């Protein structure tokens, strides 16, 4: 690895350790990323975003730390440094997904969810991708899901022509039924953006979750995201999850109602056919 002086210097300011070398990391949709080799023998991961929104990286770091509070819960990378312009995390060396790792991840996710949260929401707002995420608490999951998760992004997508008016109407009507469809549960501690790309299969069967949009909500929304975009070894993850935090027999039939949110967010961020896909799912619940 070579050494980029500006990147290395910024990291050294936050870490108090010399950076021996740097190397760009591909794959991020939002931030630029660099791998750092430090003089203390550690390897780190630095994320930067030009003109990052206010508290963008600080909120991500807070979410990682909140999830990490759970003993034997979902593993997250250690936060080594954070500031308005960047976030530095411990490096996660990845390997191929395996059944034992999947089962361990399922049990850990269940324990994180069971730890719970004080309310439906969080004590600060956050971000999902580059989009602001309103986490102001509401008394019920049905209210929170409609008012904080569906309505704001559906409005953006509709105003930008990313979701057809008829499709938006279907989505709105289906989301309004979440209180009828989804069993009432106390708030779970959620990752909030738990799709395949945010799950790293680390060494020694350690699965690490990154890039959270953490808040208190219904646990099935994390599960809905895992199933929506596909996760290797998902049946083993869910079997182990169910051992620790049993799900109802019809939980898979309900997942679509919670998949509306990530699909609308994807419509806002990427356009394409995500809005039509959300409407097709919504129609099943009407």
Measure the CA–CA gap between 186 and 11, rounded to whole angstroms.
Answer: 40
Angle between helices 151-159 and 165-175 (to 10 degrees): 180
2.40.40.20, 3.30.230.70, 2.50.20.10, 3.30.200.20: CATH of 5-90: 3.30.200.20
Measure the CA–CA gap between 154 and 135, rounded to whole angstroms.
Answer: 17
pLDDT, one tens digit per residue, over 104-138 is: 999 999 999 999 999 999 999 999 999 999 999 99
CATH number of 99-285: 3.90.1200.10
Catalytic residue among 71, 125, 193, 242: 193
Domain layout of the chain by residue ranges:
5-90, 99-285
What residues in the chain have per-residue pLDDT under 50? none
pLDDT score for 157: 97
Measure the CA–CA gap between 277 and 269, rounded to whole angstroms.
Answer: 15
193 is catalytic: yes
pLDDT score for 224: 97
Measure the CA–CA gap between 140 and 90, rounded to whole angstroms.
Answer: 36
pLDDT score for 47: 94
Alpha-carbon distances, residue 145 vs 97, 115, 137, 150 (angstroms)? 32, 20, 11, 6
């Amino acid at each position: 690895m070579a050494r980029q002086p500006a990147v290395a210097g910024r990291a050294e300011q936050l870490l108090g350790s010399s950076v021996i070398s740097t190397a760009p990391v591909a794959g991020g949709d939002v931030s630029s990323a660099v791998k750092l080799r430090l003089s203390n023998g550690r390897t780190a991961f630095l994320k930067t975003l030009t003109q990052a929104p206010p508290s963008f990286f600080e909120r991500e770091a807070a979410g990682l730390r909140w999830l990490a509070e759970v003993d034997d819960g979902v593993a997250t990378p250690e936060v080594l440094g954070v500031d308005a312009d960047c976030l530095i995390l411990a490096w996660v060396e990845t390997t191929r997904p395996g059944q034992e790792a999947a089962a361990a991840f399922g049990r850990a996710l269940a324990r994180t969810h069971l730890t719970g949260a004080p309310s439906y929401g969080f004590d600060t707002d956050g971000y999902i991708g580059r989009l602001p995420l309103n986490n102001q608490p509401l008394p019920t999951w049905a209210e929170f899901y409609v008012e904080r998760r569906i309505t704001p992004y559906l409005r953006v997508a509709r105003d930008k022509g990313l979701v057809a008016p008829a499709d938006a109407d279907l989505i709105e009507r289906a989301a309004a039924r979440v209180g009828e469809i989804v069993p009432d549960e106390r708030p779970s501690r959620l990752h909030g953006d738990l799709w395949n790309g945010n799950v790293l299969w680390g060494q020694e069967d350690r699965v690490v979750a990154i890039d959270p949009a953490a808040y208190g909500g219904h646990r099935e929304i994390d599960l809905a995201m895992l199933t929506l975009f596909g996760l290797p070894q998902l049946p083993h993850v869910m079997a182990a999850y169910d051992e620790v935090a049993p799900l109802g027999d019809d939980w898979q039939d309900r997942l679509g109602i919670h998949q509306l949110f990530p699909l609308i967010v994807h419509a806002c961020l990427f356009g394409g056919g995500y809005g039509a896909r959300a409407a097709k799912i919504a129609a099943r619940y009407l």
